[in-house]
Structure 1
Amino acid sequence: MALLDVLLEYPLTTLFVLSTGLLFSRCIYHLAFHPIAHIPGPFLAKITSLWLYYHAYIGDEATIIHKAHTEYGPYVRVSPNEVDISDADAMAPIYVSKGGFLKAPCYANFDIDGHKTIFSATDVEHRARRAKAVVPMFSTKSIRENEAALYGCADRMVDRMEEEARTGRPVNILNIARSLAVDAVSTHLFQENYNGTSEKGPRLSVSAFVDAFVAVGRFFYLPTKVFIWLEWTIEKCMPDEHTATSMEVVDKFVDNLVDQTPAGSSSYPGRLIPLVERLEVKAQCKDLIFAGTDSTGMNFATLCRQMALNPDKYEVLRKEILDNANAGEKKQDVQALPYLSAVVRESLRISMANPTRLPHVVPDSGWTFKGTNFPAGTIVGCSAHELHFNEEVFPDPFSFYPERWLQENPEATKAFFAFGAGSRACIARNLATFELYMGAERLVERDVLRGARACQEKVEIYEWFNSSVKGEKIELVWEKPRV
């Protein structure tokens, strides 16, 4: 009774003591009794998700987790119920075998306009019905049939780069690479060219739209209800006129596209219209514009920059491409050229378009990997940053060295994670890869990159789910303007 009297007499003190006790008990549970308490990791990461939220927000998640791996080994606990795995052997059970584990709930934060996209959907049946309708468009056969139109996009991109190179001013090749990407996606999948390569402004009209979705990655791991509230608050309290204008441009393009597409059309929206309402079709199209423009733009800009930084490798590539162009009946398909293939693969390895972990959920049966148990419900995943910069697999991993791909290297092939893996790998990976091949082929044939010099000593990124280049520029300059 005396204790109760004391508690009632000092309610604030009582509240503080009880809250502190509860917090302390929760910390003890996470450190000693949680089902994954046996997984090592930073102290704060073990007791609170705020550690992961913070590093995701400031954009150093991949780097800070890499440092943790050097200290703790291949398994690092990055929040009370999440583990980052640096072992490439884990990719098969997590992403490939029997369809892999289900995506983590946080993928819902990439829903568009309230609709789950082919990328963000966690429900297998929901995704499968939509993916089945459009996946033929991403086949090698479909891309080959539309090759002339796609090469037209590459040729216009080269024209634009040549035009800007003549000015003698720094050229933002990230902007130009994005223009090729959005034109290729729209031309092939929508059968209507966005025509980004014709834009003469300093920034592509679609870029602010893309960057707005990239910025979602700052909050990727947040519970979806918290994310929705935070997104609404930012939109209301910190409106951005440039982003709003870009959103309007993309909305208008997509609205016109979908509204004018008849059911039964062979285009991407035409294949979806019989299955879902048109509002969802528009969301799916916007998702394609975002993902296709951002990732491929980053990858192709990286390729161009590395060719400028490594003129000796550029000469090897140019000789191979020109020899093939003049080979007559012996001319090979561009994707069969060994050095070009190595350049494309190495560019994808180091570009870090998607550097962070792809989180999936351990199924009800649990999972034991190399003697370590991961209970049901644990969120696990691998990251491109950790796999692609593994020194044991890729010696001198931060250097651009295409030659590493010219010899058979099963370990390197196994660790390659540029498009994810398994049934939930990037649905557009064939198209994205072809864009890199044809863009590089056209640039090299016309020798556009000769004399180009990289302006930045280092390209720094925010390590969000989709990386964001700090300053939004990857620049080259031609010291002797082309004529």
Structure 2
Amino acid sequence: MTARVSTALRHMKDDEHDFTPVLQAQVHNGRRQGVAQSMAELAANGIGSIIAGTDTTGVALAIGMRSIYLDEAIRSRLHAELKTIWETESNHPTLPTLENLPYLRACVRECLRFSSPISGRLPRITPQGGLDFAGYYIPEGTTVSSAVYLMHYDEEIFPEPFRFNPERWLASVGRDTSRQEQCLVPFSTGSRGCIGLNIAQAEIYICLATMVRWLKGSRVLDSDLKTLVQFTRSVPGGLKVELVEAE
């Protein structure tokens, strides 16, 4: 990574085009603010840009796939929907086509809610003078935080939160899903939201669609979901499902 950063910096000095916009932004922002950045810092951020999202996206897929294969009604309904737009393996549908499938979209949302891969808190301290929020005054210097996991499992917003239920996202069955959409924040929100949101969702759509379209579970070997919740959520023992080819 250090060698890659050195090459990118050299190209930047020579005004050559280089596909490292994140690195360029970091260097330019540092110069503008008068903050010197060492090669070690730049390399560490480069590594973070590569590996960030691999475990969280993987956990969302693992927990989501296990939940789908545990419920044959969900799997078969999703499989039937995918068959309408994906007849042969070689004729892979585009991402926009997948995103427009109502039940697949509902399954992706439920995967993100049910797995809540970023489950820990990101504490913040209220500024000088305190803060008025929703009718409450929070004194300055107070540590405040919110946990995505607790939001996603709030039964007032998501009835039966411990049940994997894609239908909760289908407005066509007479539900108003606007509050749920507002409270689904697996990537956080606002200016501090995850910059990898789009690529992570694309990976989940493509992987989930491919697995369910062409493979079905013959046996879920891990019926009990045992996860470790720290800042991120992990599955220490893994999740094992035996798969066979689907029609």
- TM-score, normalised to structure 1, is 0.43
* Counterparts in 2 of 1:360 and 1:453: CA distance versus 1, 3 Å: farther
Other-structure match for 1:323: 84
For the pair 1:374 / 2:138, whether they are aligned, the reply is: yes
Structure 1 counterpart of 2:225, from 436, 459, 476: 459
Other-structure match for 1:393: 157
Structure 1 counterpart of 2:2, from 239, 255, 258: 255
For the pair 1:363 / 2:131, whether they are aligned, the reply is: no
* Residue 341 of structure 1, CA deviation: 0.9
**Cα distance between partner residues in 1 of 2:43 and 2:218:** 40
* Counterparts in 2 of 1:291 and 1:273: CA distance versus 1, 3 Å: closer
* Residue 272 of structure 1, CA deviation: 4.8
For the pair 1:296 / 2:57, whether they are aligned, the reply is: yes
Deviation string for 1:108-144 (max 9, x for gaps)? xxxxxxxxxxxxxxxxxxxxxxxxxxxxxxxxxxxxx
- Give % identity: 30
The residue correspondences of 1:69-468 to structure 2 (distance < 5 A) are 254-261=1-8, 262-263=11-12, 264-268=17-21, 271-272=24-25, 274-275=27-28, 277-325=38-86, 333-407=97-171, 408-445=176-213, 447-448=214-215, 450-468=216-234
Q: Is the 8 A contact 2:64 2:114 kept in 1?
A: no
Deviation string for 1:343-368 (max 9, x for gaps)? 11100001131112222222223223
* Counterparts in 2 of 1:257 and 1:442: CA distance versus 1, 3 Å: farther
- RMSD over aligned CA atoms reads 2.6
Other-structure match for 1:469: 235
**Cα distance between partner residues in 2 of 1:481 and 1:393:** 37
Q: Is the 8 A contact 1:307 1:313 kept in 2?
A: yes
Q: Is the 8 A contact 2:119 2:230 kept in 1?
A: yes
Q: Is the 8 A contact 1:367 1:373 kept in 2?
A: yes
- TM-score, normalised to structure 2, is 0.80
**Cα distance between partner residues in 2 of 1:467 and 1:352:** 7
Classify the secondary structure of the residue corresponding to 1:393. Answer: coil
**Cα distance between partner residues in 2 of 1:257 and 1:282:** 8
Name which one, 1 or 2, has greater alpha-carbon Rg.
Answer: 1
**Cα distance between partner residues in 2 of 1:412 and 1:440:** 22
Unaligned runs of 5+ in 2: 29-36
Unaligned runs of 5+ in 1: 1-253
* Residue 283 of structure 1, CA deviation: 1.1
Matched to 1:413, the amino acid is: E
Matched to 1:414, the amino acid is: Q
Matched to 1:285, the amino acid is: G
* Counterparts in 2 of 1:257 and 1:459: CA distance versus 1, 3 Å: farther
Question: Is the helix fraction higher in 1 or 2?
Answer: 1
**Cα distance between partner residues in 1 of 2:203 and 2:64:** 12
Deviation string for 1:184-219 (max 9, x for gaps)? xxxxxxxxxxxxxxxxxxxxxxxxxxxxxxxxxxxx
Q: Is the 8 A contact 1:360 1:380 kept in 2?
A: yes
Classify the secondary structure of the residue corresponding to 1:304. Answer: helix
Q: Is the 8 A contact 2:124 2:145 kept in 1?
A: yes
* Counterparts in 2 of 1:347 and 1:274: CA distance versus 1, 3 Å: same
**Cα distance between partner residues in 1 of 2:133 and 2:146:** 14
**Cα distance between partner residues in 2 of 1:324 and 1:386:** 36
Classify the secondary structure of the residue corresponding to 1:477. Answer: strand
**Cα distance between partner residues in 2 of 1:322 and 1:428:** 29
Q: Is the 8 A contact 1:269 1:281 kept in 2?
A: no
* Residue 270 of structure 1, CA deviation: 5.5
Matched to 2:18, the amino acid is: S
Classify the secondary structure of the residue corresponding to 2:45. Answer: helix
Q: Is the 8 A contact 1:454 1:475 kept in 2?
A: yes
**Cα distance between partner residues in 2 of 1:398 and 1:376:** 37
* Residue 452 of structure 1, CA deviation: 3.8
* Counterparts in 2 of 1:340 and 1:414: CA distance versus 1, 3 Å: same
Q: Is the 8 A contact 1:258 1:269 kept in 2?
A: no
Matched to 1:267, the amino acid is: T
**Cα distance between partner residues in 1 of 2:149 and 2:99:** 25
**Cα distance between partner residues in 2 of 1:306 and 1:373:** 42
